[in-house]
């Protein structure tokens, strides 16, 4: 079986390497030629465009920034559908709008291509160690046929419903993550301003009800002022924008999401868009003139 992989950025590159380690044949493409060369040096083959990737593959995985990128790579000139054979499976692991997933799936179905939307959660560390959480929408039988492949990249792969359900689940995930990081930042600023060591606060509360995977991952980064991106603020802005648009479309109120979106937008215009989303703490640091450390 040959796997095509399109999109070799922070997440896609380690995910593709894990597929190679598991013994899959891989054909890759990305606009970043250095990333392509790095994955090729691990055993992959390079293709000049998405159509060439599809022509050589049984399954194509896309891992791209947002809905327009996926639409272009799949449906555009030299796109996946130009090179696809009938029966090809497309697994879009990007985090995009659910409606966009549904539109792309219709174009795929017209060409005899089966599609799943399968966004991931866990950031770069879990992409590297192959322990991502993968949430999947689409035909259940297609999901079952590729589940073992997905579990090379993730610790879990859960079928959430029809096409678009994976991305709806991912939007719910991103809402929870963003609000968690904001809550951690706010609470640790409270402790710092009150003269209590935030490291001791973290040690005291991480095993209780306030403890979470988000706090365990992001609190040490905040206290070390280490905002090297595992998941960039600009990407979280994209996800929350999709969440808010989806919420407006289905009548789901998202007032706290809108508030955190304003914090992220403020950080973007302060030049922090390419930093990790743990840099939400910088918003509180700017307001108070106090560093959490």
Give the DSSP letter of residue 85: P
CB 248 within 8 A of CB 150: no
87 Cβ neighbours under 8 A, 6+ residues apart? 112, 113, 114
As beta bridge partners, residue 92 has 62, 117
Residues in the chain, how many? 293
Structure tokens at 77: 């000139």
Q: Which of 66, 89, 250 is nearest to 174 (CA)?
A: 66
Q: What's the rounded Cα separation, in Å, for the pair 108 and 275?
A: 35
Return the beta strands (E) in the chain as ranges.
Answer: 2-6, 25-29, 45-46, 59-62, 89-92, 114-117, 120-121, 132-137, 154-161
Q: What's the rounded Cα separation, in Å, for the pair 281 and 79?
A: 40
Q: What's the rounded Cα separation, in Å, for the pair 105 and 74?
A: 10
106 belongs to the catalytic site: no
Q: Dihedrals φ, ψ of 121, to 5°?
A: -135, 145
164 Cβ neighbours under 8 A, 6+ residues apart? 98, 99, 101, 102, 105, 117, 137
Q: What's the rounded Cα separation, in Å, for the pair 27 and 47?
A: 7
Structure tokens at 176: 């929870």
**Options 13, 17, 126, 170, the catalytic residue:** 170
Q: What's the rounded Cα separation, in Å, for the pair 73 and 150?
A: 21
CB 83 within 8 A of CB 50: yes
**Active-site residues: which are they?**
170
């Amino acid at each position: 079986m040959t796997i095509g992989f399109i999109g070799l950025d922070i997440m896609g590159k380690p995910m593709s390497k894990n597929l190679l380690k598991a013994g899959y044949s891989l054909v890759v493409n990305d606009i970043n030629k250095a990333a392509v060369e790095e994955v090729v040096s691990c055993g992959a083959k390079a293709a000049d465009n998405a159509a060439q990737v599809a022509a050589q593959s049984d399954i194509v995985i896309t891992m791209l920034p947002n809905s327009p990128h996926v639409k272009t790579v799949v449906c555009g000139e030299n796109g996946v559908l130009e090179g696809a054979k009938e029966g090809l499976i497309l697994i879009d692991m990007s985090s995009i709008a659910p409606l966009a997933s549904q539109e792309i799936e219709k174009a795929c179905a017209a060409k005899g291509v089966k599609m799943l939307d399968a966004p991931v959660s866990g950031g770069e560390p879990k992409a590297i160690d192959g322990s991502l959480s993968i949430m999947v929408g689409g035909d259940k039988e297609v999901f079952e046929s590729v589940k073992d492949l997905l579990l090379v990249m993730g610790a879990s792969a859960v079928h959430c419903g029809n096409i678009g359900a994976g991305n709806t689940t991912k939007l719910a995930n991103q809402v929870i993550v963003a609000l968690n990081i904001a809550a951690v930042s706010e609470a640790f600023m409270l402790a710092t301003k009150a003269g209590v060591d935030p490291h001791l606060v973290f040690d005291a509360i991480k095993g209780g009800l306030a403890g979470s995977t988000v706090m365990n991952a992001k609190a040490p980064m905040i206290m070390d002022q280490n905002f090297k991106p595992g998941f960039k603020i600009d990407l979280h802005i994209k996800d929350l924008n999709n969440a808010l648009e989806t919420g407006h479309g289905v009548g789901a109120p998202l007032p706290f999401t809108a508030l955190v979106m304003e914090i992220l937008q403020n950080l973007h215009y302060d030049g922090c868009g390419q930093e990790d989303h743990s840099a939400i703490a910088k918003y509180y640091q700017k307001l108070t003139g106090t560093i959490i450390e």
